[in-house]
Amino acid sequence: MALPQLNTTRYVTTIPSLDKEVSFRPYLVKEEKLLMIAMESQDQKQIIRAVKDVIKSCVIDDIEVEKLAMFDIEALFLALRSKSVGERVDVRLKCNECEQLTDVNINLDEIGVDKQEVNNVIKLTEDVGVVMRYPAIDDVEELDQEGGIDAMMSIIYKCVDSLYDNDNVYDKNSYTEKELEEFFDNLNSEQFKKVTEFFENLPSIVHNVQFKCVSCNKSNDVELKGLASFFT
Closest CA to 81 of 106, 62, 113: 106
Q: How confident is the model at residue 38 (pLDDT cuts 50, 70, 90)?
A: confident
Rounded-to-integer distance, Cα 59 and Cα 10, Å: 9
Q: How confident is the model at residue 55 (pLDDT cuts 50, 70, 90)?
A: very high
pLDDT in tens, 79-127: 999 999 999 999 999 999 999 999 999 999 999 888 777 789 999 999 9
Of 4-13, 70-79, 138-147, 160-169, the least confident: 138-147
Cα atoms found within 13 Å of the Cα of residue 120, Cβ hemisphere only: 13
pLDDT given for residue 191 in this prediction: 96
Residue of 146 and 206 predicted with greater confidence = 206
